[in-house]
Every structure is written in C-alpha cells, then in structure tokens.
Structure 1
Amino acid sequence: MIRRDLAPLARIAILLAALSAGAAQAQQPAQGPRQVGTITLRTESVPLIVTLPGRAVAKAEVDIRPRVSGFVTEVLYDPGKPVEVGTPMFRIDATTYEAAVEEARANLASARAAVPQAEAAYDRSRQLQGTGSTKALLEEAQATMEKAQAAEQAATASLRLAETELSWTTITSPLAGMPSVAEVSPGDLVTSGQSDAMATVTQLDPIDVDMYEPSARMQRIRDRIDAGQVSIAQTLNAQLTLENGSSYSVTGEIVAPGYNVSTSTGSIDFRFRFQNAELRILPGMFVRGQIEIGEVEAILVPQIAATRERDGSLTAWVAEDGKAVKRRLTDEGVYQNDWIIADGLRDGEELIVNGITNLAEGAEIAPIPVEIDESGVIRDTPAQTPVTE
C-alpha cells in the first residue's frame, strides 16, 4: 500500500527533473571559435631609448675662504639670493692693510727719487771717460744706477702687493650661483688659507646629471651597432623624469662620455647638462634619464597586449591557423605605449590584443581586425562585429 501511494509522487519528480534539464540545455548556446581582436604586426624603424638612473650634481661649486687674515667686519650678501661673479660677500678689517699701502707708496717715492740722481752720475762718468775719469769710476756709477732702478722696481712690486692684499679684505664671489648661509659673523677672526669655508657658492643653472649605464648592456648595444642593426644618433640627448614622476621639459646634452667602468657597480658614468632656470633640479636629487641612442628595426607590441610573467619574461598571444599561440618575447625597452620587440614575433603575424582573458593555448579563435588609437584604446575597424572579453 505504501509503494502504491509513493509511485505517483516519484513519477512527478522524475518529470520535473527532465523538464529542468531540457530548459538548461536550451539556454546553453552552441560552442564555437572565440572571437578575438587582432592587429597585423609590421617591422618599423623606432628610436632605441634606454632608461638610466641618474643623480644631479652642481656644474660648479666653490668654498669661500679668506686670502688675508683679520676680523670680519661685515657680511655683505643675503643667503638664498643669487650672486654674480664679483659680488661682495664679506669684508675684513682693512686698517693694517691700508697702512701697508701707504708705507709701500712712500718707499716707492723714495726709490724713484734716487733713480734720476744715479742716472745723472752715470752719464757724467761716461762723458768724462778718457779725460781723467777711470773705468772703475764708470763701472761704480753704472752699478749705483742699476741698484736704484732695481730698488724702484721692488718698491713698485711691494706697492702692488700691498694694494692687492687691501683689495682682498673685501671677499667677492668667484662664481655666479646661490650662496649658502654664512659660517662666520662680524667679529670672528679669520686667517689666510684656513681650511674652514666662510660660505659656499653653488652654480645651479645649468646643472649636470650623472647617469649610469651597465657596461654589459653597453657592450650589447655596441655589438648591434657594429652588426648594422642599430643606426647611431648624431648626438646623444636625454630627457629626465623627476623624483615625483613628472617629466622635465628641457632636453639635456651630453658633455662628458664615460671611459671608465666602476669597480663597485660595473657601470659607466655619462654626464649630461640641463638648463635649470627654475631650479627644479637640485644637487643630490635622484632622477631617471631616457637617452635616445639611435634607431632600430623592430616590431612594436602594445603594452596592453603583452604580459610580464612571474619569471620576468614577456609573453603575448598570436593567431596562427585559427588557434591561439603564446609567444615568449625579447624586448629592448619601451617606445611610447609599445614594447620594442627584438625577437619572438615575425612581420605580418596577427597579434591578439583583445579577448585574451582566460585564453588557453591552442584554443580555437575567430580573429577580427581592430585598431588601437593614440590613447591606447582598442576600437573596432569599420563594419566589424564588436569583440568582447
């Protein structure tokens, strides 16, 4: 009796399960090739740009030290305000040096007064030669005249030195730049040739940036140049990226190529010079430099179409005989929004740029041509079906 009561319920359950399975099958679309967006790869000439770490250094920097001894009487500049060559910065008590100048002038006047007398005695002795004046007297008069002339020259030199030392009591800047805070105050005693600087003047415009290129990569680039794969640029210019990630608008020129490899870092130092009127770059600041070495024939791959794997290798998908194939790529840096590919792709191949999410090796695909605009946005070519992930 129990089995007869449950039989209708069992039949109803089986019927409902069958209807549900049929509805589920009806909702599933028929499987087919996956639509993907592709672009055709072309070999083209692109700039070969390397990115190097760099550090800013002052074009010139000088420590201000006294050339004469004495007490500081005045500080004549304002720290942080630029100075020019010859701008007075410090003044030293000049009393003793003014007195030395006066003494030297008096000595010069005395020496000059003795010269005409000695010259006249020599002329008389020479005119009397043969009329009673001996040769010995002539030689003595000549020696006296020459001593007087030498004394005048020595007094002139002493006066020049005294005047020079007096001028040194006003210490001027030998460099155009930005001065530091003074290390001395009025009343401090300074001595000639002391080791401690009174202040520092740093030239900030223009400013130099040292960039460091690994010697191994430099050798690889030279090998490619020798093989004719890279056409070298006529001049090496550099662009900078500052510490905050912003781009520096001024282009720098190379001033000192490197010829020595650092034993500690294995890198070669290149120095570039940048105009720095706004003082955005300061000595010691770390930057990144982009240097255009030349041009290279290569294939460009949009960055959105390539993936950096866990092992550091770069991969991308290509359409090959209606199937998706993953390729490992060898890159040589970045140009704009593209990877510069040296190996792993061939001219004319179809690169998959859209629909690559969860794409499997060997999966059947239906390539649809697309375009990538300057902003890196993928757009369908005219009269094409949109591609969705």
Structure 2
Amino acid sequence: MRVGVWKMFGAALAFAGAATMASAQGGPPGGMPTAGPLEVGVIDLQMQEIPRVVTTPGRAVAFQDVEVRPRVGGVIEEILYSPGQLLEVGDPLFRIDDASYLAAVATARANLATAEANLPVKQAAYDRAEQLAGRGYTEAEVEAARASLAEAKATLDANKAAVEYAETELSWTTMTSPIAGRADVSTVSVGDLATAGQADALTSIVTSDPIYVDMMEASARILSVRSAIAEGDLQRNDTLQATLTLENGDIYRGTGQLVTPGNNVSTSTGTVTIRFTFDNPDHIILPGMFVRGEIVLGTMQAYLVPQRAATRGNSGKLTAYVIGEDGKAEQVTLEDDGTYQNAWIVREGLNDGDRLVVDGLSSVRAGQEVSPVAVAIDEDGVSRDIAAPAAED
C-alpha cells in the first residue's frame, strides 16, 4: 500500500511540473486553447453635414378667438346658428327684438324729412334778404337770415346722422359673425335679456385654420446657437421651419412657418416664445393642445455617434471606445452638441476614419485587445453585421 501511495504522489508532482512549464511557455495547462481578442462591432466614422434640430415644447393658440357680445340691448328672439357650426364672416348668430329700433329709425327719418323741407324756405329767405339789403332789409336782418339758413343746414346734417345711427343700431339687432371660424355653444336662450356691452359673452368663435403654435426655447440655448452661427460652426437656414409631434405620438403632416422669434424672456421660466403658423384644414390641432416641436436651425459639420455607443459620466461628458492602431480599445471623451434622430452630434474627440465600438460595450475595457467586426446601424438603432463580399472564382 505504501508503495502505491508514493507512485500516485509522484504522478501528481509530474503533472504539476508539466502544468508549470506549459504556463511559463504561454500556454494553458492540459493543452486548453488560449482566449482570443474580444469580438466587437464597429462602424467607421466620417464627418458629415448634419441638420441642427432643436426640440421644444409647444402649445397651440387659436389664429383668431372672438367673444361675441351685444352692441344693443333687448330680448333674444332667435338663435340663428348651431353649436360647432363653421361660420363665414357675416353669418347671423342672434336676433334681438327690434321693435324699439324700428321706431327710432322712423322717428329719425321723419325728423330728416322736416329738415329737408325747411331748408329751401330758409334758403329763399336768405336770398331775398341779401338781394334787398339796404332797400328794405337792414344789415342785421340779412345776418339773421344767414344764421337761420346755416342752422337749417346743420339741422339737416344732424338728422341725416341720426338716421344713419338709428339704422346702424337696427342692424345690430341681428348679430353676425365677425370672423370665419367654429362657433361655440350659446350661453343664452331665447327670451333672455341682453344689454349693450355686457360682460358675459353670448358665444365665442375660434379660427383654427391656420393655427398658431407657440414654442418655448431656453434663452441660454438661443445664445449658444447665435454664437455657433457667428463662429461659422452653424450654417443658418434662410427661413426657419418647424414640424410637430402630437400628444399621441403621431407626426403632424405639414410644416410650420416662422411668425415671430419672440422679443422677451420669461422671468419665471427663462424661455423665449417663438410663434409658428401651421395649416390646419382638418382641424386636428385644437387651441390649447400641447405638442412637441422640432425646429431646423441650419446645418453643421460633425460626427453622428449612436446613443448606444456612448455613456455620460458623472462629469457630464460623453465617453466611447474606438479601436487604436495597435488593435486595442481606447476610451475617448466626446464634446456633444445635441442629438439628431438616434445619435449624438459630436464635433470634438473624434477623427475621420475612427472605428467606433457599438457592440460588445459591456465587456470591453481600455487597453483590451479586440477583434473588430464591421456593422451598420438601422433606423431602429439595431446593429447588423455587414456581410463580407463573396470571393471571386
């Protein structure tokens, strides 16, 4: 038994020695294969022209919004529209009892007729007095005739104006739409009493085609964009245009045109309101609706780094891995300038021809030997291997 134990001990020592020798020569014990370089997916980077797009919150505002109030008083006799109806300028809305206004028109016209009949009499008296001045008419009598004629003319003018005003008040008893738009529900019923200039509106009319969208942009970012334009880093578009994403995530068909860039900074939010106008023929965008706007400011030369390929550290800087000339992974720090689609816009920290690691990031470390595999990133941000071309016969 003792001889067998010694044989087994000697065999173990021999195996340990062989393992040590194999390790010293760079190979694993027992002839196991060595671990090769880490396989990672990479893309080749080239500086390109990229649209500079900013995304901002926005709110839809009616192109026109009118509250309808009576200009004369009286009992509401008829409501002449239906709630939600699309109206044109001049379409009737309400009819107020017009009996008293018809009487006022009749009285004004009667007074006008009296004034028209009195004017020729005064004119003839003045002509006669002027012709016989010094021969039966004193100078005082001539002046009195002249004054009487002037008074008759003024009375005629006043009565003409009274007729016009009475007829205008009569026309106000039928209230019409001052704008084209969609009418709201009436706040009154037939038989209610309306007073001229009352505080409560009878209804409201909103024009939503076209429609305004007010977008809020931080004043600090506006200064940054202006600096980039001044330094030549950003080529500004001749006209600013915007697109919208609705509350349900749908992209709104149609492009907005700039109305005003805003002139004041909100003291509470530090933002500037930029107004765009959008065609809204189907009335999809409603006043008060919250949207997300994207404004294309211009173009710039930069690199597009997929967001999956870079991480932001505690310092706020982006870091990524590129493949060095020695075939090892190198960590680089990037200066980003916003995003475009699913990628970071990077202007500093990269060079043309750099091979950026986009797959295998969870295992890669700086200085690690890697085996790059060319991949492509599709529209959904998924990487796919680029198949090698088939060998020619």
Q: Which residue number corresponds to residue 135 of structure 1? A: 139
Q: Deviations over 1:231-260 (max 9, x none)?
A: 111111101111111111110011011121
Q: Deviations over 1:129-170 (max 9, x none)?
A: 343322222111111111111111111111111000000001
1:383 maps to amino acid: P
Residues 151/33 of structure 1: CA separation in 2 closer, same or farther (3 Å cut): same
Q: Which residue number corresponds to residue 270 of structure 1? A: 274
Q: Which residue number corresponds to residue 331 of structure 2? A: 326
Q: Which residue number corresponds to residue 321 of structure 2? A: 317
Distance in 2 between residues matched to 1:59 and 1:199, nearest whole Å:
17
1:380 maps to amino acid: I
Checking the alignment, whether the CA contact within 8 Å between 1:52 and 1:213 is kept in structure 2 is yes
Deviation at 1:312, TM superposition (A): 5.8
SS at match of 1:229: coil
Distance in 2 between residues matched to 1:25 and 1:89, nearest whole Å:
97
Q: Which residue number corresponds to residue 200 of structure 1? A: 204
Deviation at 1:381, TM superposition (A): 4.7
Q: Unpaired runs of 5+ in structure 2?
A: 20-27
Distance in 2 between residues matched to 1:240 and 1:128, nearest whole Å:
85
Checking the alignment, whether the CA contact within 8 Å between 1:372 and 1:379 is kept in structure 2 is no
Distance in 2 between residues matched to 1:81 and 1:98, nearest whole Å:
30
Residues 107/25 of structure 1: CA separation in 2 closer, same or farther (3 Å cut): farther
1:209 maps to amino acid: V
Distance in 1 between residues matched to 2:248 and 2:319, nearest whole Å:
30
Q: Which residue number corresponds to residue 338 of structure 1? A: 343
Deviation at 1:371, TM superposition (A): 3.7
Residues 349/108 of structure 1: CA separation in 2 closer, same or farther (3 Å cut): same
Distance in 2 between residues matched to 1:138 and 1:26, nearest whole Å:
143
Residues 127/313 of structure 1: CA separation in 2 closer, same or farther (3 Å cut): same
Q: Which residue number corresponds to residue 222 of structure 2? A: 218
Distance in 2 between residues matched to 1:142 and 1:223, nearest whole Å:
77
Aligned counterpart in structure 2 of residue 111 of structure 1, from 101, 110, 115: 115
Aligned counterpart in structure 2 of residue 94 of structure 1, from 93, 98, 105: 98
Q: Which runs of structure 2 are paired with 1:1-389 in the superposition (5 Å)?
A: 29-308=33-312, 313-320=317-324, 321-373=326-378, 376=381, 377-383=383-389
Q: Taking every aligned residue pair, what percent have the same amino acid on both sides? A: 50
Distance in 2 between residues matched to 1:313 and 1:185, nearest whole Å:
65
Distance in 2 between residues matched to 1:28 and 1:169, nearest whole Å:
102
SS at match of 1:78: coil
Runs of 4+ in 1 over 6 A off after TM superposition: 24-27
Deviation at 1:384, TM superposition (A): 8.7
Q: TM-score, normalised by structure 1?
A: 0.89
How many residue pairs are counted as aligned between the two chains? 377
Deviation at 1:218, TM superposition (A): 1.2
Distance in 2 between residues matched to 1:168 and 1:35, nearest whole Å:
83
Q: Which residue number corresponds to residue 23 of structure 2? A: none
Checking the alignment, whether the CA contact within 8 Å between 1:373 and 1:379 is kept in structure 2 is no
Deviation at 1:46, TM superposition (A): 1.1
Checking the alignment, whether the CA contact within 8 Å between 1:368 and 1:384 is kept in structure 2 is no
Q: CA RMSD in A?
A: 2.8
Deviation at 1:122, TM superposition (A): 1.1
Distance in 2 between residues matched to 1:140 and 1:365, nearest whole Å:
117
SS at match of 1:31: coil
1:299 maps to amino acid: Y
Q: TM-score, normalised by structure 2?
A: 0.88
Checking the alignment, whether the CA contact within 8 Å between 1:211 and 1:270 is kept in structure 2 is yes
2:366 maps to amino acid: E
Query: Which stretch has the larger CA shift, 259-268 or 366-375?
Result: 366-375
SS at match of 2:86: coil
Query: Which stretch has the larger CA shift, 177-186 or 222-231?
Result: 222-231
Checking the alignment, whether the CA contact within 8 Å between 1:371 and 1:381 is kept in structure 2 is no
Distance in 1 between residues matched to 2:220 and 2:67, nearest whole Å:
38
SS at match of 2:239: coil
